[in-house]
Amino acid sequence: MKRDETISAHKILFLCHGNICRSPMAEFVMKELVRRAGRDDIVVESAALHTDEIGNDIHYGTRRKLLAEGIPFAPRRAWLINAAKAREYDLLIGMDDYNMADLRRLVFPEDAGKIRKLLSFAGSERDIADPWYTGNFDETYADILEGCTALLKSL
């Protein structure tokens, strides 16, 4: 995606492996950016691509980082996306190449054009590292903030 390209999206779904670290972090960061921008026409949610964490709330490291950055969040439960539910969204945003491959296999062919990698909005094809493995929630937050800021500018 080109940095200055404008897209029309009012219902955004962030996705990652388990929906406890990166995608809910992106959900709450984007919700706060949308609120600060005074936009009430954008719905933001997040979901899992695998069943590992279904029903669990966000990771304690994600909670700590959101609190440290002053980003409001609410208790939630990880849920699993399917092709029918994916159809309800304008944008399906993955965090890394594995998410992108999972999304391409999951969605109906006519919905493939909705799939984007978060940092592509900032002009990068880099992955957003999974802090479940790296333990680095600061780096993940910085990348998510960069991607969400660029995404909002494109809307």
Per residue in 12-30, pLDDT (tens digit) is 999 999 999 999 999 999 9
pLDDT at 71: 98
Strand order from edge to edge, sheet including 91-94:
43-48, 11-16, 91-94, 115-117
Which secondary-structure segment (H or E) carries 29? Answer: helix 22-36
In order of their start, the domains of the chain are 11-154 (3.40.50.2300)
- Measured distance CA(73)–CA(23) in Å, rounded: 13
Positions in the chain whose pLDDT score sits under 70:
1-9
pTM over 0.85: yes
Mark whether 22 is an active-site residue.
yes
Mark whether 63 is an active-site residue.
no
- Measured distance CA(2)–CA(36) in Å, rounded: 24
Residue of 16, 96, 102, 148 marked active site: 16
Residue of 22, 63, 96, 116 marked active site: 22
Residue of 21, 96, 102, 130 marked active site: 130
pLDDT at 139: 98
- Assess contact for 147 and 119: CB atoms under 8 A: yes
Per residue in 72-98, pLDDT (tens digit) is 999 999 999 999 999 999 999 999 999
